[in-house]
Structure 1
Amino acid sequence: MPHLALYTFGVLQSPVADPARLTREFNESGDAVYREIGQHPGYIARAEAADRSRGMFDSDWGDWGEFAVPAWYEKGRTVETTALAATLSLWTDLGSAFDSIYTGLHRVALNRRYDWFEKTAHPNYVFWWVTDGAIPTWQDGVTRLEHLHDHGYAPHAFTFHHSFDPAGTPTRLKGIGPKG
Structure 2
Amino acid sequence: MKDMHLAELNVGRLLAPTDDPKVAEFMENLDRINGLGKRMPGFVWMMEGSGEPGTGNTDFKIDGDPQYVSNLTVWETAETLEKFVWNTLHHKFYERRDEWFEHKTDKHFVMWWVPRDHRPTLQEGLARLDHLREKGDSDHAFGWAYLRQAT
What is the TM-score with the length of structure 1 in the denominator?
0.74
Q: 1:121 is matched by which residue type in structure 2?
A: T
TM-superposition CA deviations, 1:99-137 (whole Å, max 9, x none): 101122201101111101111111121001111211111
Q: 2:38 is matched by which residue type in structure 1?
A: G
Q: 1:28 is matched by which residue type in structure 2?
A: E
The number of equivalent residue pairs is 148
Residue in 2 that maps onto 1:89: 73
Residue in 1 that maps onto 2:41: 41
Residue in 2 that maps onto 1:11: 13
- Structure 2 unmatched runs, 5+: none
Q: 1:150 aligns with which of 117, 134, 138?
A: 134
- C-alpha displacement at 1:147, in angstroms? 1.0
Q: Give 1 or 2: higher helix fraction.
A: 2
Q: 1:100 aligns with which of 61, 84, 100?
A: 84
Q: Is the 8 A contact 1:68 1:142 kept in 2?
A: no
Dislocated runs of 4+, deviation >6 Å: 53-57
1:1-180 counterparts in 2 under 5 A? 1-18=3-20, 20=21, 22-50=22-50, 52=52, 67=60, 69=62, 77=65, 82-163=66-147, 171-172=150-151
Give aligned-pair identity as a percent.
28
Q: 1:112 is matched by which residue type in structure 2?
A: R
- C-alpha displacement at 1:52, in angstroms? 4.2
Higher Rg of the two aligned structures: 1
- Structure 1 unmatched runs, 5+: 60-66, 165-169, 173-180
